[in-house]
Chain A
Amino acid sequence: MDINLMIEIAPLLVKAAWVTVDISARALVFGFFIASALVALRTSRIPPIRWLARSYISVVRGTPYFVQLLLVFYGGPAIGLRLDPFTCGVVVGAFNIGAYMSEAIRGAIESVESGQNEASRSLGFGRLETLQYIILPQAAGLMIRSVGVLAIILVKNSSLVSIISVIELTYQAQRLIGSTYKPLEVFTLSALMYIIIIYAVMGIVEFLYRRATRYTFL
């Protein structure tokens, strides 16, 4: 192991790691909105809207993220959709993770006993109020856990964005392996950075989980 080389390339990798964090965080936030919208559409009273949301989720979950990225980035211009690599990574990542996340959110909401809903409605709460004050606080714990797992998958998926030439951690690592011929050192450092990012995400998820379940017994 060449320690000097590792110290030398560390700043480059840290900078690239920040791009990984940036792209994943943005995709997570947008993905959460998309997922919430999908959950709302899936429980719509109009059947065609329900079918549309369901087939969207099925198709996105049934095709590789990698192919989705290539399709939007290289195939997009054919239908007038031109995105720069970074934006493309965020948008495709958000639409991809949104489909998975909507299933996680729906699962968490459905895990709350239906009696809670009925009791709350019979006490005079409206549909939205029931969701806001009764269902969501109880579903929050499970929801945070399962969205947390998806956030980790999102961080690992962000390595695929290197294929459309966003200079993030994996792309930088590949370039450094190419220029230094020291794969072990580069791999160790970049793997370490992924591990640090993932552990940070796990820590945040654990913190939010504790906060959300302070008053509930699960």
Chain B
Amino acid sequence: MEFDFSPVIDYLPTLLQGVGVTLLIGLAVTVMSVIGGQIVAVISLYTRKVVSWPLRFFIWLFMTTPLLLQLYFLYFGIGEWILIPAIVVGVLGLGFHYMAYNADIFIATIRSVSSGQYEASRSLGFGHLATLFYVILPQAFYRALPQLSNNMIIMVKDISVLSAIGIGEMVYVSQYAISVTFRPFEFYITIAVIYYLINLMMEAGQSWIERRAAYRR
């Protein structure tokens, strides 16, 4: 069997569009899951049990069930009652999934900030919330950065799963191209190479972030 990559070159603009969609989703999910994870962590640490326990239950539920099942539930399940566009379901589903993982990291790093910091800040006249925002959370955030970037590298690879609910990212676009050209091997190899390149860039970014975080800590 000889390989013929000319169909891949023909469909290159479409594939690059898919890459663009993948990167945009990655950006949206990163923003949502980092900010959301921070909020979830703070709420589940500093509020009454009535509020924090349901939240912890949701973290636990998102961490113990597979992403694909969650996506099917959100898309085919909730879709029975309210019709939500696939792209919204995809970003929300992936966002919630990684929000749970990020919240777990934030909870650990907020706890790891020594209690002396809190006491010192309060005795200097900061209120409870001011202490949280200006003293505790910045320190916790820099400590969380290495693990957060690790999670985001895993997340970008999980974007490929979103093709299962019909979002036009790389894999979905190439599946369409394969259905026309019947060249599955060439297209999937190309996708794998693109993902690998994205991954290498993100790993470089991660080590850059880690150096910066070590400097700010």
Which A residues fall within an 8 A CB radius of B?
59, 61-68, 70-71, 74-80, 156-160, 162-163, 169-170, 173-174, 177-178, 181, 183-184, 186-187, 190-191, 194-195, 198
* B66 CB-CB contact with A under 8 Å: yes
Q: Looking at the complex, which one of A77, A170, A178, A181 makes contact with B68 (CB distance below 8 Å)?
A: A170
Docked-complex contact A173 and B189, CB < 8 angstroms: no
Contact flag A178-B184 (CB < 8 Å), given A66-B161, A74-B178, A191-B65: no
| Interchain residue pairs with CB less than 8 A apart (17) | A64-B157, A64-B159, A65-B157, A70-B171, A71-B184, A71-B188, A71-B192, A74-B184, A74-B188, A75-B188, A160-B66, A163-B164, A169-B69, A177-B76, A183-B76, A187-B73, A190-B69
Docked-complex contact A183 and B68, CB < 8 angstroms: no
Q: In angstroms, how far is the closest chain A Cβ from the Cβ of B6?
A: 15
Residue in A closest to B191 when the chains form the complex, CB atoms: A67
Q: Which of A67, A177, A194 has the most CB of B within 10 A?
A: A67
Q: In angstroms, how far is the closest chain A Cβ from the Cβ of B11?
A: 15
Docked-complex contact A183 and B160, CB < 8 angstroms: no
Docked-complex contact A75 and B72, CB < 8 angstroms: no
Complex CA distance for A205 and B1, rounded to whole angstroms: 45
* B10 CB-CB contact with A under 8 Å: no
**Chain A binding site: helix, strand, loop or mixed by DSSP?**
helix
Q: Looking at the complex, which one of A59, A79, A158, A162 makes contact with B196 (CB distance below 8 Å)?
A: A59
Complex CA distance for A135 and B185, rounded to whole angstroms: 43
Query: Which residues of chain A come closer than 8 Å to B158, judged between CB atoms?
Result: 64, 66
Docked-complex contact A187 and B77, CB < 8 angstroms: yes
Q: In angstroms, how far is the closest chain A Cβ from the Cβ of B136?
A: 28
Contact flag A174-B72 (CB < 8 Å), given A62-B200, A64-B158: yes
Q: Looking at the complex, which one of B64, B66, B160, B185 makes contact with A159 (CB distance below 8 Å)?
A: B66
Q: In angstroms, how far is the closest chain B Cβ from the Cβ of A188?
A: 10
Docked-complex contact B76 and A67, CB < 8 angstroms: no
Contact flag A63-B157 (CB < 8 Å), given A71-B189, A183-B80: yes
Query: Which residues of chain A come closer than 8 Å to B192, judged between CB atoms?
Result: 59, 63, 67-68, 71
Contact flag A75-B184 (CB < 8 Å), given A62-B199, A174-B76, A184-B77: yes
Complex CA distance for A132 and B119, rounded to whole angstroms: 51
Contact flag A198-B68 (CB < 8 Å), given A67-B171, A79-B185: no
Query: Which residues of chain A come closer than 8 Å to B161, judged between CB atoms?
Result: 64, 66, 160
Residue in B closest to A187 when the chains form the complex, CB atoms: B73
Q: Looking at the complex, which one of A67, A80, A169, A198 makes contact with B195 (CB distance below 8 Å)?
A: A67
Q: Which of B64, B157, B185 has the most CB of A within 10 A?
A: B64
Nearest 3 Cβ contacts at the A-B interface: A183-B77, A75-B185, A159-B66
